[in-house]
Amino acid sequence: MADRYDREAGETRFLDADNWLSTPLVIDEELFVKVISEQNTLIHALFTTGRNLGAFSSGTAGFFESFQTPVEMAHHELEATQEMQALGLNTPVPKEAFEVDGYGVVVFEYLPEFRPLDDLDPDTESHLAGELFAALTTLHDAGLAHGDLRAENVLIRDDDLYFIDATSVNSEARAAIRSYDLACGLAALEPVLGARETVTAALSSYSADDLLEAADFLDFVSIRPDHDFEAAGLKSEIEKTATDSQPV
């Protein structure tokens, strides 16, 4: 990195984070860097297989895609972030992706102060829930998806939401991906806001029918270790909303 950016080797700080898919570090409190190894790529492929099996259990074909090499994985994350930014969504500024000695390296702007979505204050920041679903709609209307939406991948900074860590999905399964993203958004917010307020926030951007389709994925989302929410309560609230919206 020092050679590439024509700078002296500065302070390098490794982050205490989930390192299954990369080794994250910060350089000079300016650059956020992920180093991706062949082992990380293999683990991602195993995760992808598991996620696709979960999609099958929800009654749809698998739509997650895996990568062949670490640098392919790095380039995808950079490109996914660039696409989100081009749509007007907030992201850390994407810098570049490249390969060094078989490792994939992806570089972003470092955001020094942020909180994950599950640190949202329901008394003063509930409006951010509506903004989350509006951002998802922006992605979906553009034919894109996040694919790995969870509290750790949505950051709160200066009363704005920032999106990170989008994953690769098969665009041919657009309807299923849309429902899966929505289910993940509901699952991320329910522990903070409760089922009723979460569903109300989602209805600002999605229809009751959209929520019913997303409900089909809630059981799959609930078995993922990175989501902890009341699936039964969410389903019940969605079904009640759908019933109330039916014409008399």
Residue-wise pLDDT for 57-104, tens only, equals 666 766 677 888 999 999 999 999 999 999 999 999 999 999 999 999
Q: Which ranges of 121-207 does DSSP label H, i.e. alpha helix? A: 127-141, 174-193, 195-202
Q: How far is it, in rounded angstroms, from Cα 55 to Cα 32?
A: 32
Mean pLDDT of 201-225: 93
Question: With 60 as the cut, is the pLDDT of residue 248 above it?
Answer: no
Confidence (pTM): 0.89
Domain boundaries, the chain: 12-109, 115-244
Residue matched to tokens 């849309």: 178
Query: Among positive and negative, which fits the CA dihedral 163, 66, 177, 233?
Result: negative
Going through 17-150 in order, the beta strands assigned E by DSSP cover 23-27, 31-36, 94-100, 103-109, 115-116
Q: Does residue 227 sit in helix, strand or coil?
A: coil
Mean pLDDT value of segment 15-28: 85
pLDDT tens sequence across 28-54: 999 999 999 999 999 888 887 777 776
* Confidence at residue 55, expressed as pLDDT on a 0 to 100 scale: 65
Assigned CATH topology for domain 115-244 = Transferase(Phosphotransferase); domain 1 (1.10.510)
Please give the residue that has the higher pLDDT: either 248 or 161. Answer: 161
Pairwise CA distance, residues 44 & 33, whole Å:
18
pLDDT at 2: 82
H or E stretch including 4?
none
Tokens representing 212?
A: 């019913």
* CATH class of this structure's domain 12-109: alpha beta
Distance, in Å, from the CA atom of 159 to the CA atom of 212, rounded to the nearest integer, reads: 30
Strand pairing class (160-163; 154-157) = antiparallel
Q: What percent of the chain has pLDDT over 90?
A: 65
